[in-house]
Structure 1
Amino acid sequence: MAEKTINPVLKQILELGPTVAFFVLYTRIKDDVFTFGGTEYTGFIVATIAFVPVLLIAMAILWALTGQLSRIQVFTAFMVIFFGALTAWFNDERFFKMKTSIVNGLFAVILGAGLLRGKSLLKWIMGDMLPMQDEGWMILTKRLAIGFAALAIINEVVWRTMSTDAWVKIETFGFPLALFLYLWVQIITLQKYVIEPDKAPEDNA
């Protein structure tokens, strides 16, 4: 199904809104304790449980408006549901905090496995969005594998040594910003590998 064009601001709201909603809800109820079925749940766990349907609704709207979802979005949503369920079932916030480490770790392993086979799985995921020579894809894949591994390690250090408040702030703002800047720097430094469609006719002349 071809991707439909939607307002870029609306797209950003649908992609980032659930995470921001989780942060806002957590800050409002973090000191509260809720009782369901005779079991007490902290504000963090209640915010985590609420985050799951909000994310699914936002993804459903995004799919309805654009006609598609990226493989990364689908995988991330699955992991959020899975670890959100574990967090609620065991009433243990550590499961949701570990999610970030496991997701980034899996990304690093998957990309690394492709590199060992001489392939860029990143090209398979993002090739339509960023036309680039194979050599550039291999370099970018290697660097992102390292970046995801670093984020996984950092998350482990943060949630194990810092407060829940600190983790929520870093998870909501720090990690996404760090990944965005890291990816932006890589794309800038790999500009010589980017294929410019407008120049293709001249090259074939």
Structure 2
Amino acid sequence: MRKGEQTRKHIIQKSAELFNVRGYAGSTINDIMKATGLKKGGIYRNFTSKDQIAAEAFDYATAILSERFSKAVESADTAIEKTLVIFDVYKDAVNDPPVIGGCPLLNTAIESDDTHPELREQALRVMKQFLATVQEIIQNGIQSGELRSDAEVVSLSSLILSTLEGAIMASKLARDNSHIAYCKEHLHRYLLSYRAERARI
């Protein structure tokens, strides 16, 4: 990797952490300079604006998250297990989240809702991708005979996403990972109610 590419990657990585901790609005170019150890010229040789940095930093942060989710899902066998291991990615949301500062999707969605339409669109795209992944897991579970055919794929996926993000928020706010564990356990019980009869044997 060339020096210019390394510098650009360094800016994106450090900015992703900075924005995820302090927020886009709460971070200035001076903060980015401090986080990266670069002067303003070094920043602007690689990016035209803070908006561009924010967009690429969000993509970088959510790519890390996506990779962690994918590895977790690949490690499980059944549809219910694949759904539940998603929560394990954030089992230590307080001390060891995949990205410093918590969930970049949650943080960006909240901050950008009414203030930054471009970032909001990025967050919405990532949310839709996550929902599509969960929907595929549930659909595969139905097709394999693990889950009942009347399982509501769309609403179940929405419940899983909302439960996860709510659990992350509660755990971060209370600095108590038990909220993740509670939500995972209750979701497990709920998903078992959709297990097909032959899968119970």
Classify the TM-score, shorter chain: 0.3 to 0.5
Higher percent of residues as helix: 1
- TM-score, with normalisation over the residues of structure 1? 0.34
- TM-score, with normalisation over the residues of structure 2? 0.34
Report 1 or 2 for greater relative contact order, CA contacts < 8 Å, sequence distance ≥ 6.
2
